[in-house]
Chains A and B, each alone.
Chain A
Amino acid sequence: EAGVVQSPRYKIIEKKQPVAFWCNPISGHNTLYWYLQNLGQGPELLIRYENEEAVDDSQLPKDRFSAERLKGVDSTLKIQPAELGDSAVYLCASRGDGEAFFGQGTRLTVV
């Protein structure tokens, strides 16, 4: 069974540019999460979806971040415009009836 797939693995952009990350969850998993992991820190929740509905986006900086999960499967996370402080690893995870499974993450570097 394929795991959670994220792309790209690495992204380097200049500040003020837009960037998008893509996540394909495990088939059949209704819950999808986007987490932010700063260097040397634990992951912090940005947004959680149940099917196509964002049920917890309280920690998503909505002035520059947006996310969508069309048809309740794949999801994209966008930053526009990116700032230097957005450099981090963005993790996607999905959950069915049990525990959450994580993708390998996208490492974003803003220069």
Chain B
Amino acid sequence: GDSVTQMEGPVTLSEEACLTINCTYTATGYPSLFWYVQYPGEGLQLLLKATKADDKGSNKGFEATYRKETTSFHLEKGSVQVSDSAVYFCALSDRGTYKYIFGTGTRLKVLA
């Protein structure tokens, strides 16, 4: 079945450092791809999405590009802030069933 694999955390960075969180997927169809963020005690918030190959999703300085050839959707940010500390989930959604499948999450901690 479909699945999402993302790098294990925690990832600890200093403020203004560059961030990359790797995400790869396996899908029988042509899914949409998402990054969700979860702050402590909160639900999941959509960070960005991409619906077709080579699309770049971006929001709040975060970016991710839908790479069909490598089945990847890596999350990047050029300069992280303390407020970016959270758990980040990569997810795919099957276009036919709209079932969302999530990775295990990567905890990011940014130090001042």
Binds A, one of B38-46, B60-68, B73-81: B38-46
Knowing A31-B98, A100-B100 touch, does A40 contact B105 (C-beta < 8 A)? Answer: yes
Among A11-38, those with CB < 8 Å from B are 31, 33, 35
Knowing A42-B104, A42-B105, A100-B93 touch, does A91 contact B98 (C-beta < 8 A)? Answer: no
A-B pair count, CB < 8 Å, reads 54
Is B25 part of the binding interface, using a Cβ–Cβ cutoff of 8 Å?
A: no
Query: Residues 23-58 of chain B: 1 if any A CB is under 8 Å from the residue's CB, otherwise 0?
Result: 000000000101010000111111001000000000
Q: Are B102 and A43 in contact (CB under 8 A)?
A: yes
State the CA gap A103–B64 with chains docked (Å).
24
Knowing A40-B105, A42-B89, A99-B49 touch, does A104 contact B42 (C-beta < 8 A)? Answer: yes
Question: Which residues of B sit under 8 angstroms from A99, Cβ to Cβ?
Answer: 32, 34, 46, 49, 93
A-side binding surface: helix, strand, loop or mixed?
strand
Question: Which residues of A sit under 8 angstroms from B98, Cβ to Cβ?
Answer: 31, 48, 95, 100
Interface size on B, residues (CB 8 A): 23
Knowing A41-B105, A99-B34 touch, does A105 contact B43 (C-beta < 8 A)? Answer: yes
Residues of B near any A CB (own CB < 8 A):
4, 32, 34, 36, 41-46, 49, 89, 91, 93, 97-105
Residues of A near any B CB (own CB < 8 A):
4, 6, 31, 33, 35, 40-45, 48, 55-56, 91, 93, 95, 99-105
Name the 8 nearest CB pairs between A and B, nearest first: A42-B102, A102-B44, A104-B43, A102-B43, A42-B104, A105-B43, A43-B102, A42-B105
Known contacts A40-B104, A99-B46, A100-B100; can you find 13 more A-B pairs with CB under 8 A?
Answer: A42-B89, A42-B103, A42-B104, A43-B44, A43-B89, A43-B102, A56-B97, A91-B43, A93-B44, A99-B49, A99-B93, A100-B98, A104-B42
